[in-house]
Amino acid sequence: MAPETPSGTAPTGRPCAICGKPAVQRFKPFCSARCADIDLGRWLKGGYVIPGEPVEDMAEPVPKRRDEEE
Ligand SMILES: [Zn+2]
């Protein structure tokens, strides 16, 4: 890979989180306000899956009671 440049032409060194273009300092970690907006929109719509959030969506069967009515 290319060696790191101290004060480089590379904006931030990290690709835009949305489109993969080189991000710029002003909008980092995005390349533009548009991409930042897209990301924000995704958050607001809940499009992101938050890692670590326990999903307890399994329908656990209720254990059968063993009291026999007689
Ligand atoms: Zn972008």
Concatenating the DSSP letter of every residue in 6-68 gives TT-SSSSSSB-TTT-SBP-GGGTTSSSHHHHHHHHHHHHHT-SPPTT-------PPPPPP---
Q: What is each CA distance from 26 to 4, 58, 67, 70, in whole angstroms?
A: 21, 44, 68, 76
Q: What is the per-residue burial (b if ≥16 Cβ within 10 Å, else e) of 40-51?
A: eeeeeeeeeeee
Between the CA of 61 and the centroid of ligand 1 the distance, in Å, is 46
Binned at pLDDT 50, 70 and 90, residue 61 comes out as: confident
Answer yes or no: is 18 a known binding residue: no
User: Would residue 37 count as lying in a domain?
Assistant: yes
Range of the domain at 34: 1-46
How far is the centre of ligand 1, averaged over its atoms, from the C-alpha of 40 (Å)?
Answer: 13
Number of domains in the chain: 1
59 falls within a domain:
no
The yes-or-no verdict on residue 33 having pLDDT over 90 is: yes
Q: Examine residue 30 and state whether it is found in any structural domain, yes or no.
A: yes
Average pLDDT of the segment spanning 22-45: 91
pLDDT tens-digit map of 8-26: 445 567 899 899 999 998 9
Q: Taking residues 18-42, report their average pLDDT.
A: 92
Q: With a threshold of 0.85, does the pTM exceed it?
A: no
- 63 in a domain, yes or no? no
Check which CATH number belongs to the domain holding 34 and give it: 3.30.50.10
Higher pLDDT, 51 or 62: 62
